[in-house]
Amino acid sequence: MAVEEYDVKKGIWIITKQNPIEILLTCFLTIAVIVAVVLSVIVLSKVNNASTSTSSNDNANPAGSTTTPSTMASPTTSATTSNPTSSSTAPKCTNRIHQDVVVMYDASLATGDLSLFKATNSYLRDTFFTDWSIGTAAQVAVIPFPNSDTFHDQSGFGDFGTARDSNDLQYLLTRHAQLLNNGTVQTSSSSDIISGLNATQKYLVGQLHDRPDARNTAIIFATSADGATDDAADIAYHMKRNFMFFLTVAVGSAANNTILTDQLASNGAYAFSIKDPSNLSDGQALARSIHDLLLTIPNGSICL
């Protein structure tokens, strides 16, 4: 290819020939520059569009908000909120006496006849244990006094594992009355609480069915003030030191004995009285009071 160039020194136009390779390189460089410029324009355009889109989204969703309209209206979310299972309340359990309880009751003739014994025996059999879960949570043994060893030998008053339910307990109490009525066990004119306390230690406390995880509790029904002696109070004192709780129930005129109410009972709140156990309303009120008190003994209840 011929190219005219003006020679200034000579003042004339000179026709020269250009190398073809140089021409190709010049064209290639020119095209490359044009392509680079076009690509730069395209990239800048995309960046500007992306920036505009981000700004629009920020205006539609304030900072910190991650909930979209579709999520708020989601039927799944609504169904979860109204799920009846999540709002249901678990059924409540009932506190039950969880103790090994021995009930000692007066079977003497100290009052002149057996009427109070019979009334107390019937009361224990039919009313006193109505709200107890015997065999399930509470273990109960019943011990008549005096002559407690003889009652044990003739019929058994039941160790803590014998009365598996209220029917077993009713049988034992019925058997006690039969033994006195037919003369198998001789009655005594002296009320002797010590006989019942000794039998408790001999046959119940620390024996096979005395549960280590259950409280030991004694309830004494005394129909005569004669049995509540200083010696009885001394034995009970040592049993209390071995973590046994004592409740007393003065039947008839026995409430006149302060040893029964002040020394045998663990404290004044554990001493009760009832004039006549055969009085249904009084008997039911006493049963509820003692039942509710036993539930307050530390570690003396379980929820079933």
pLDDT tens, residue by residue, 166-201: 888 898 999 999 998 888 888 888 888 999 999 998
147 and 30 in a single domain? The answer is: no
- Count other Cβ atoms within 10 Å, centred on residue 291: 17
On whether residue 101 sits in a domain, the answer given is yes
Q: Quick one: 50 and 116 in the same domain?
A: no
Pair (14, 110) in one structural domain: no
Structural domain range at position 266: 96-303
- Tens-place pLDDT, residues 72-131: 444 444 444 445 444 456 668 888 999 999 999 999 887 777 888 899 999 999 999 988
* Residue 291 binned pLDDT confidence (cut-offs 50, 70, 90): very high
Long-range contacts from 256-265, C-beta under 8 angstroms, 24+ separation? 256/225, 257/222, 257/225, 257/228, 259/228, 259/229, 259/230, 259/232, 259/233, 260/220, 260/222, 260/225, 260/228, 263/228, 263/233, 263/236, 263/237, 264/193, 264/220, 264/228, 264/232, 264/233, 264/236
Does 105 lie in the same domain as 20? Answer: no
Regarding whether 198 and 137 lie in a shared domain, the answer is: yes
Are 49 and 117 in the same domain? Answer: no
Is residue 66, in this structure, part of any structural domain at all? no
Q: Considering the chain, what is the average pLDDT of its residues?
A: 78
What's the token pair of residue 40?
Answer: 């730069």
Rounded to two decimals, what is the model's pTM? 0.68
Asked whether residue 77 is domain-assigned, the answer is no
Q: What are the residues whose beta carbons fall under 8 Å from the beta carbon of 35, sequence distance 6 or more?
A: none
- 109 and 35 inside one domain: no
Asked whether residue 196 is domain-assigned, the answer is yes
Closest to 228 in 3D by CA, of 255, 268, 203: 255
pLDDT per residue over 157-166, tens digit each? 667 777 788 8
Claim to verify: residue 42 and residue 107 sit in the same structural domain: no
Task: Using DSSP bridges, classify how beta strands 301-303 and 271-274 pair: parallel, antiparallel or unpaired.
Answer: unpaired
| 300 and 143 Cβ atoms separated by less than 8 Å | no
- For residue 84, being part of any structural domain is answered with no
| Residue 132, domain member (yes or no) | yes
The whole-angstrom separation of Cα 155 and Cα 65 is: 80
Shared domain for 102 and 229, answered yes or no, is yes
DSSP 21-63: HHHHHHHHHHHHHHHHHHHHHHHHHHHHHHHHHHHHHHHHS-T
pLDDT for the residue numbered 8: 54
The predicted pLDDT at position 12 comes to 57
Residue 51 resides in a domain:
yes
CB-based burial label for 102 (10 Å; 0-12, 13-18, 19+): buried
User: Which CATH number is 102's domain given?
Assistant: 3.40.50.410
Residue 133 within any structural domain of the chain: yes
Is the same domain home to 40 and 105?
no
Residues 196 and 130 in one domain: yes
Q: Residue 104's pLDDT is what?
A: 94
Q: Domains in the chain: how many in total?
A: 2
For residues 178 and 158, what is the distance between their CA atoms, to the nearest angstrom? 16
Residues 134 and 275 in one domain: yes
Residue 289's pLDDT band (boundaries 50, 70, 90)? very high
